[in-house]
Chains A and B, each alone.
Chain A
């Protein structure tokens, strides 16, 4: 989508304010900045592409509907990811099930374009190992890990989004990395 590829040097918060003041490209630029990272983070939490599309859309609708609730002293990224996180948690709470369910089977990993059959098989096995490893993380570990790794939020922003202190966010990330490494080594 070409309209989403415009470069704008303004901060997230300035873009948000510009949009609230009637500048539609402010919103489009914010969406462009976060479309890839937010979607990947949600996908990492849910491991279900269809559900992720749904939650991604719902997150932005919440941003639009609750624009007046945004606190300008806060980072937009923390607000955005906290909305996504709450929606994801709500979804699983309402569905009455854990995220470590059959939904994970729907996450399809891709080989590079043009990869041969052998390479595809190797990729598939490797990705299945990674998926199993992600399943081995606790929910709070996975939340922090995905926000830092694909969301590119700083640990302070993650702490704000989660409503915890910086040390807790760091501790969860450290634990997630150690566990992920161990799980992946155990599989080889």
Chain B
């Protein structure tokens, strides 16, 4: 554009020309094809920019953190929701998981070992039958024996899944610890 009204054109486009200055430039626009073209170009650029930045907004987490900070006393420490390097997050997460896994392993191990013992049969089926036979009121009366066998079955059923569950949990935790150890080697 050869016209020397470039700055006025910009102010006109952004609605910053007022009064006589505006009227004067409006008259100029009618006579100057170059300025009219420049104005059209500005509109086209603006449209492109509006599309390019459509939907660009700060995150809700950031806004919430700012509002929280504004409500605290001046000088209070600010906990940013940003500026956490990825490696620091990974390291903190891995360390936390390892700590939890080790703690759980230490806490659960004695119980799980006890559960292993409980799942082992206290006596063989033959021995149990002999004991129950001895306790039976007499030959031909099986009702007492059946009741006792049902009780033993019920107790074994209660103990066995718990024992299996705790034993399984221990195994799972051991696997987790191994995996985390591999992960931590990767991080360091």
Contact = CB atoms under 8 A, between A and B. Distances in A.
A174 B10 contact: yes
Interface residues of A, number: 49
A109 B52 contact: yes
Interface stretch (B68-76, B124-132, B154-162): B68-76
Interface in A39-59: 39-40, 43-44, 49-50, 52-54, 56-57
B72 to A, nearest CB: 9
Given A171-B7, A173-B10, A184 B45 contact: yes
A53 B53 contact: no
B40 to A, nearest CB: 10
11 contacts: A27-B67, A39-B56, A44-B53, A53-B82, A54-B82, A57-B65, A109-B52, A155-B16, A170-B11, A177-B45, A178-B1
Interface of B: 1, 6-7, 10-11, 14, 16, 38, 41-42, 45-46, 48-49, 51-60, 62-67, 69-71, 74-75, 78, 80-83
Interface of A: 1, 3-4, 19, 24, 27-28, 31, 35-36, 39-40, 43-44, 49-50, 52-54, 56-57, 60-61, 64-65, 67, 109-110, 112, 123, 126-127, 130-131, 148-150, 154-155, 167, 170-171, 173-174, 177-178, 180-181, 184
